[in-house]
Amino acid sequence: MELTEEQQGVISELFSHGVLVTPSILEKVQQGAQVDEFITAKVASDKVVVVESYKDVHKKLTFQDFTGLFSARYNVLSNIILKNHNLPNMISAKNALYKQDKDSISLIGLITEQRISTNGHLMITLEDLTGEIKVLVNKNRTELFSFAQSLFLDGCIGVTGKCGDRIIFADNVVLPDIPDAPIKKLSKKKKIAFTSDFHYGSKHFYKKEFKAFISWLSADPVDYLFLLGDLVEGVGVYPGQEKDLNVTNLLEQYSKFARHLKKISPKTQIIICPGNHDAVRLAEPQPAFNKEYCMPLFDLPNVTLMTSPGVVEVEGVKVLMYHGYSFPYYANEVEVIRQAGGMKRSDIIMEALLKHRHLAPTYASTQMLPDSMKDPLVISTVPDFFVSGHIHTTTKHQYKSVTCLNCSAWVGMTEYQKKIGLVPDPCKVFIVDLSTREVVEKSFME
């Protein structure tokens, strides 16, 4: 197949970066892959390094994109499981079907079904690249049974157990998880702040409190400011939204919001990802902001615009940014999270996603754009911070070496929020000293 002019440009740029273009890379370029998919780290400024940011490829979706997505997910997460856990006697699902009774084996697969059997045991269907097999978790193994009930559909797990008649009786179940590591601290003092969900243009926007926040930043600048999406209220996001707007033009919403950001000290590096109210597609991964609607943001010299999800590195510290669109699904549909407080317990959700090493393991938990070459919602890089927004409440939680922060909002309660169960905890900012990793919550409410 001949390369198009655009594809030849990609190949030339890869050569300029010293990348050896193998047949597999050439094939991916012919399928639409761009430079960023092979060279992930790039400097956005002299202080901000983009580690992971999704490169949108416009193409017609096929059945192979959906199957390829799960194959890519399996390949990455199974390798993480093998790296983080000792699983003896590894075998494929196809070969496990024909093993003799009571043979000890290990298997890695994606969960395609979970149900309670007539005898009260948990029955899991696991699928790998060769086929699928049933896994039974005995109800009398209380600790394992309880853990297995918290697993997410479509998540990747490792199982050790004994073979039965075309079934595995589980002795242990493991997740990809993140490894134990010391909490990274800097030798010098650097301040970093996190907040989200401004919804500029809404009648319920806390304008006075927001101005106080901008004034505070101008007087006592932080080194880095992370904004986790929903900068503006948007237009046509939900039925009847027009009655909640006091700025009805999308371009005007971004223009006015950018004017406030311009007042922040240029010494502060501002890193922004989109949310579901912003002028990007709803399906995840969400691309970075569009110049057509958000040009005022592009004009700010100290702003780095990211995708959601995306990973940036500042001062050697990695920050995983994700707006959090999948969170309500787990708050409402997963019994253990719902019983623990649902939407108020984003800390539990974030820890569970880190353990699964995926931001939306269950396919139904978010609107997702399938990619046959990779699953961009896999948490392949272990971050130092995992930060999000979307559900308008503040939680902070330390899981191993990762600081999990769900950020506040700057908008009050609307009728739509009542319907979907959002209860705002507004006008708060997380401030972190990177030399101590101490997290302070500062409120700007009068």
Report percent pLDDT > 70 for the chain: 93
pTM, two decimals, is 0.89
User: Which positions ≥6 away from 297 have C-beta within 8 Å?
Assistant: 231, 254, 258, 261, 272, 289, 303, 305
Continuous segment of H or E residues that includes residue 160 = strand 156-163
- 39: pLDDT confidence band, cut at 50, 70 and 90? low
Residue 24 has pLDDT above 70, yes or no: no
Buried b (16+ CB within 10 A) or exposed e, 93-103: beebbebeeee
pLDDT tier at 14, thresholds 50, 70, 90? low
Q: Any idea which of 113-117, 124-128, 210-214, 239-243 has the lowest mean pLDDT? A: 239-243
Of the candidates 138, 204, 203, the one whose C-alpha atom is nearest the C-alpha of residue 173 is 138
State how far the Cα of 381 lies from the Cα of 183, in Å rounded to an integer.
15
Report the pLDDT averaged over residues 222-228: 97
Asked whether residue 86 carries a pLDDT value surpassing 80, the answer given is yes
pLDDT at 17: 47
pLDDT for position 18: 46
Least confident interval from 63-77, 103-117, 406-420: 406-420
pLDDT computed for residue 61 by the predictor: 77
Element (H, E) at 320: strand 317-321
Q: How confident is the model at residue 364 (pLDDT cuts 50, 70, 90)?
A: very high
Residue 22 binned pLDDT confidence (cut-offs 50, 70, 90): low
Query: Domain spans of the chain?
Result: 1-38, 85-174, 191-443
85-174 placed in CATH 2.40.50.140: yes
Mean pLDDT of 220-239: 93
CATH assignment of 191-443, among 3.40.50.300, 2.40.480.10, 3.60.21.50, 3.40.225.10: 3.60.21.50
C-alpha span between 169 and 233 (Å, rounded): 51
